[in-house]
Chains A and B, each alone.
Chain A
Amino acid sequence: MHILIVLMESVIIGGLVGFAAGVGAARMFNAPTVQALGAFRTLGEMNAAEGDAASHFSFGLGFFFNAWASTVGAGAFTQDVTHRVIPNWAVSALLLRSKDMNESMHNPKKMGIMSALIGIVVVAFLNVTSSSIPAALQVTAVKVLVPAATLLINMVMPIIFWLAAIDAGRRSGLLGTIFGGLAALIMGNAVPGVVLGILIGKGVEEIGWTRITRIMLGAVILLFILSAFFRGFDVDLLKSFSLSVPQWLTNWHSSMGG
């Protein structure tokens, strides 16, 4: 019963995601005149294997095995399913019938339909096979992947993004450092702060202090204030500086359920 529900839901999800991924990817070849949904890496990789059905297929297959391992291990598909596996396999299947790019990779209608079919098969396969694997495998996966992922999120990712911010220029380095440190304190992870620092720093560098960049900075500050409040950081902050927490703040927190 459990497997049947997973299978049915997977078919629906796979069809929807596959269809949108296929249309979005084909539209990329017409961007920026057509608004597309995809990723620059997908665009580059699909161009790199252009015209050869076998290259598209084997490229997708490599990432499919990776996605399978990750799904079995942690229930996570990896972003490669939508970025690489579905679009490349859809192109590969279409190329078997026609070598014309306008009839395959660049055609949103054909890509959409073919990707929906492939999406259904891929998603159903990944979910059904991984929800019925032996317990010994799951324990191994948890013991191996969870510590690796925790290190990756808490240490490696913040450092990589931080160094990228510093290398990207003085403004993004400064804002990335400030927001990164604050985000690590308030949100428990520095990455969102560093990303926002890069976003605003590079934005100001490229278009200056316009209304757009000022609104963005305002939105970021608001995001920080709200997350601080909802995570109870304001109260912790006052307490750790040995200050008393005013009554109105305590009342505010209890009225918001925080």
Chain B
Amino acid sequence: MENDLKDLEQAKSFWFADWAFPIIVGIMSAGVFAGTSMYYNYGVGAFNEVAIVAMLKAGMTDGAYGAAAAFGASFLFARVLEGSLVGILDLGGSILTGVGIGIPAILLSVGFEAPVKSFPLALLTGLIIGVIIGGIIYIVRHFTIGQSKATFGADVMMGAGNDTGRFLGPLIILSAVTASIPIGLGATAGAAIFYAWKKPIAGGAIIGAMILGFFFPVKL
């Protein structure tokens, strides 16, 4: 009885209802897209991994947005399908990578700069895109719920995605070593300390490299 009442209350209120989902996705997308806008204008604030943001950066420097656009769009496509089937829309793939990197890359590659460059427009663009994505999931969910048990390899992709993160630490140390001897030593020591503290070694490698790079600067 108590559970029934709780269910009824949950189904109706904004905080639990399916109809609220597009709004939540819209709010998230508005913020993330505006974050990309800030990265475009000021070089800080993109809500993604260094490796993925670097794809957008590559486009910003030489105009080749293909990798970022294709990578982001395919992630978005995969995650929207998966999200409606499993009940959890993957924030990283769909919004951070799809809306934050893929869609801006598509817009910039066709020369449509205004929605990315202007902050208010970026908020609005993100909101609209997010509401559309949330709406698609809402509709797909209502048509397919309980009919399909497929995960479309989400577990495989997630596993591979997590493995990728592990490679970054050693790669940063190897790359620091080629920058200069002090920076290489700093990165190695930082990574070792972070490892001893049971923290991701990529963070320690970056901090170590930065500290030594500050005292023994290198030229670009």
Q: Does A96 contact B (CB under 8 A)?
A: no
What does the 1/0 interface line of B190-218 toward A look like (CB < 8 Å)?
Answer: 00000000011011001101101110011
Q: A12-B123, A35-B89, A219-B77 are in contact. Are A145 and B35 (CB under 8 A)?
A: no
- Of all chain A residues, the one with the shortest Cβ separation from B153 is A202
Specify which chain B residues have a CB less than 8 angstroms from the CB of A196 in the assembled complex. 74, 78
A176 CB → nearest B CB, Å: 9
B93 CB → nearest A CB, Å: 8
Asked if A127 contacts B206 (CB within 8 A), the reply is no
Q: Does A243 contact B (CB under 8 A)?
A: no
B51 CB → nearest A CB, Å: 5
Q: Does A82 contact B (CB under 8 A)?
A: yes
What does the 1/0 interface line of B51-93 toward A look like (CB < 8 Å)?
Answer: 1111101000000101101110111011001011011111110
Q: Does A77 contact B (CB under 8 A)?
A: yes
- Of all chain A residues, the one with the shortest Cβ separation from B92 is A79
Specify which chain A residues have a CB less than 8 angstroms from the CB of B10 in the assembled complex. 30, 34
Contact of A75 among B46, B74, B119 (CB under 8 A): B46
Q: A20-B28, A140-B209 are in contact. Are A206 and B150 (CB under 8 A)?
A: yes
CA of A73 to CA of B25 in the docked complex: distance in angstroms? 29
Q: Does A105 contact B (CB under 8 A)?
A: no
CA of A146 to CA of B95 in the docked complex: distance in angstroms? 24
Contact of B34 among A13, A65, A160, A199 (CB under 8 A): A13
B128 CB → nearest A CB, Å: 14
Q: Does A69 contact B (CB under 8 A)?
A: yes
Q: Does A43 contact B (CB under 8 A)?
A: yes
Q: Does B107 contact A (CB under 8 A)?
A: no
Q: Does B176 contact A (CB under 8 A)?
A: yes
Number of B positions contacting A (CB below 8 A):
102
Chain A: interface size category? 35 or more
From 65 to 83 in chain A, residues with beta carbon under 8 angstroms from any chain B beta carbon are 65-66, 69-79, 81-83
From 77 to 124 in chain B, residues with beta carbon under 8 angstroms from any chain A beta carbon are 77-78, 81, 83-84, 86-92, 95-96, 109-111, 119, 123
From 25 to 44 in chain A, residues with beta carbon under 8 angstroms from any chain B beta carbon are 26-28, 30-43
- Of all chain A residues, the one with the shortest Cβ separation from B33 is A13
Q: Determine chain B's interface SS by DSSP, over half rule.
A: helix
B3 CB → nearest A CB, Å: 12
Q: Does B30 contact A (CB under 8 A)?
A: yes
- Of all chain B residues, the one with the shortest Cβ separation from A33 is B87
Asked if A164 contacts B159 (CB within 8 A), the reply is yes
CA of A195 to CA of B90 in the docked complex: distance in angstroms? 15
CA of A14 to CA of B30 in the docked complex: distance in angstroms? 11
Asked if A144 contacts B183 (CB within 8 A), the reply is yes
Q: A35-B137, A156-B167, A199-B78 are in contact. Are A148 and B152 (CB under 8 A)?
A: no
Q: A69-B206, A202-B150 are in contact. Are A41 and B162 (CB under 8 A)?
A: yes
- Of all chain A residues, the one with the shortest Cβ separation from B64 is A188
Asked if A39 contacts B157 (CB within 8 A), the reply is no
Q: Does B156 contact A (CB under 8 A)?
A: yes
Q: A20-B31, A143-B183 are in contact. Are A227 and B70 (CB under 8 A)?
A: yes
- Of all chain B residues, the one with the shortest Cβ separation from A34 is B16
Asked if A37 contacts B150 (CB within 8 A), the reply is no
- Of all chain B residues, the one with the shortest Cβ separation from A189 is B67
Asked if B45 contacts A77 (CB within 8 A), the reply is yes
Q: A140-B213, A145-B50, A164-B157 are in contact. Are A212 and B148 (CB under 8 A)?
A: yes
Asked if B210 contacts A73 (CB within 8 A), the reply is yes
CA of A26 to CA of B66 in the docked complex: distance in angstroms? 36
CA of A14 to CA of B44 in the docked complex: distance in angstroms? 13
B22 CB → nearest A CB, Å: 10
What does the 1/0 interface line of B138-164 toward A look like (CB < 8 Å)?
Answer: 100100000011111100111110111
Q: Offer 18 A-B interface pairs, CB within 8 angstroms, sorted by A.
A: A6-B45, A21-B28, A35-B87, A62-B200, A63-B200, A126-B44, A140-B218, A152-B171, A157-B51, A172-B153, A191-B71, A192-B67, A198-B156, A198-B157, A199-B81, A206-B152, A216-B81, A230-B109
Chain B residues within CB distance 8 Å of chain A: 10, 15-16, 18, 21, 24-25, 27-28, 30-32, 34-35, 38-39, 42-55, 57, 64, 66-67, 69-71, 73-75, 77-78, 81, 83-84, 86-92, 95-96, 109-111, 119, 123, 137-138, 141, 148-153, 156-160, 162-164, 167-168, 171-172, 174-176, 178-179, 183, 187, 199-200, 202-203, 206-207, 209-210, 212-214, 217-220
